[in-house]
Structure 1
Amino acid sequence: MKTQLPIQGLSQYDSSIQTDFQTSACGPVTAYVLLNYLMPDTYSDTPNSLYDKLGVTRIGLFTHRFVRNMRIVLGSNWHIEKCSLHTALRELKNGRPVALKFDKYFSLKWNKKSTFAYHWVPLIGYEIENDELVLIIHDNGARNRESKIRKVSYSQNASILTFIRITPTSAI
């Protein structure tokens, strides 16, 4: 069984991203990618404007700021909250991607083997391979590389993951 949404990713190192934002732009790029998918042809912010609106710092975007400031950006017609894996998978089944944060540092798992140490990505799907849950993400690119779709092991990363759903209030 596989669910994968047809989402166009963006590299946080894209030439459209302000140079001094690029190393910490994964949060606003993730928000931008999700909002462009959820509100096609109507969402007007850029990753650069979201960088400021979400309150990103040079070390990244804290989860509570992502949630609080996305609520301000989107208003009362949207429900933004941390959610469980189960809810995140249900959101994907319902055609809505989820913001996914990898965070070894603030989860105090410094020595944990994981795909990323600290990184926001759009979660765009999942599948079961060999009885294991595999998450499908856009990785937000790297210097001189576009964002690409990757598969990551849920079990290897579970203890450092945070899921944020962005759902229209009419769908709740």
Structure 2
Amino acid sequence: MSKYIEVKGKSQYDHDIEPRYRPSACGPVTAYVLLRHFFPAEQTPSINELYKTLGSTKIGLPTWRFVRRLNQLLGPLWNVEICTAQQAIEQIDEDRPVAVKFDKWFKFKWCSRFSFDYHWVVMVGYEYVDNHLHVLVHDHGGRNSASRVRSIPFEPNKKILTFVKIELLER
């Protein structure tokens, strides 16, 4: 079983992002890609605006702040909250991408190896490889690499993963 949602990715090192924000812009870029999925491009704030609005810093964007400030930005018709891996898969099945944070440092898993040490990405799907869950994430690129979709094994990374879903509330 697998599922993939096509989203338009963005590199956190693109020229339209303030140079001083680029090394720590993965959280705002994740929010930007998600918002662009739910809203027309002209209604989506720029990454530079999101960097300030979400309260990003040079050392990153805490999950609680990402959730709280995105809830404030979207208003009462939307719900942004932390979810489980299973709930994230359910979101994908409903064609809603999910924010994913890899956080080795603040989860105190310093001595282990993970796909990322600290990074926000957009979950755009999942697949099973040899009966093992892999999350498909849109990585935001690097100084010399474009954004791209990567298949990340869930099991070796699960200790440092946090999933955040965004849903329109029932009216």
Q: Please confirm whether the aligned pair reaches a TM-score higher than 0.5, indicating the same fold.
A: yes
Alignment-mate amino acid for residue 80 of structure 2: I
Query: SS of the residue aligned with 2:158?
Result: helix
Report the CA distance between 1:146 and its aligned residue. 1.3
Deviations 1:53-96 (A, max 9, x none): 00001100000100010011100111000000111000000000
Deviations 1:21-76 (A, max 9, x none): 00000000000001101123453301110000000011000001000100111001
Q: Is the alpha carbon distance of 1:62 and 1:108 closer, same or farther for their aligned partners in structure 2, counting shifts above 3 Å?
A: same
Q: Could you say which residue in structure 2 is the equivalent of 1:154?
A: 154
TM-score (norm 1): 0.97
Alignment-mate amino acid for residue 126 of structure 2: Y
Given that residues 35 and 44 in structure 2 are in contact (C-alpha distance below 8 angstroms), is that contact kept between their aligned partners in structure 1?
Answer: no
Matched residues, number: 171
Q: Could you say which residue in structure 1 is the equivalent of 2:83?
A: 83
**Separation (CA, whole Å) in 1 of partners of 2:66 and 2:98:** 13
Query: SS of the residue aligned with 2:52?
Result: helix
Asked if residue 69 in structure 1 is aligned to residue 69 in structure 2, the reply is yes
Q: Could you say which residue in structure 1 is the equivalent of 2:100?
A: 100
Q: Could you say which residue in structure 2 is the equivalent of 1:54?
A: 54
Q: Could you say which residue in structure 1 is the equivalent of 2:109?
A: 109
Query: SS of the residue aligned with 1:87?
Result: helix
Percent identity of equivalent pairs: 43
5+ residue gaps in structure 1?
none
**Separation (CA, whole Å) in 1 of partners of 2:157 and 2:43:** 31
Given that residues 127 and 133 in structure 2 are in contact (C-alpha distance below 8 angstroms), is that contact kept between their aligned partners in structure 1?
Answer: yes
5+ residue gaps in structure 2?
none
Deviations 1:86-134 (A, max 9, x none): 1100000000000000000111101111000000000000011101001
**Separation (CA, whole Å) in 2 of partners of 1:59 and 1:41:** 28
Query: SS of the residue aligned with 1:151?
Result: strand
TM-score (norm 2): 0.97
**Separation (CA, whole Å) in 1 of partners of 2:23 and 2:43:** 24
Alignment-mate amino acid for residue 153 of structure 1: P
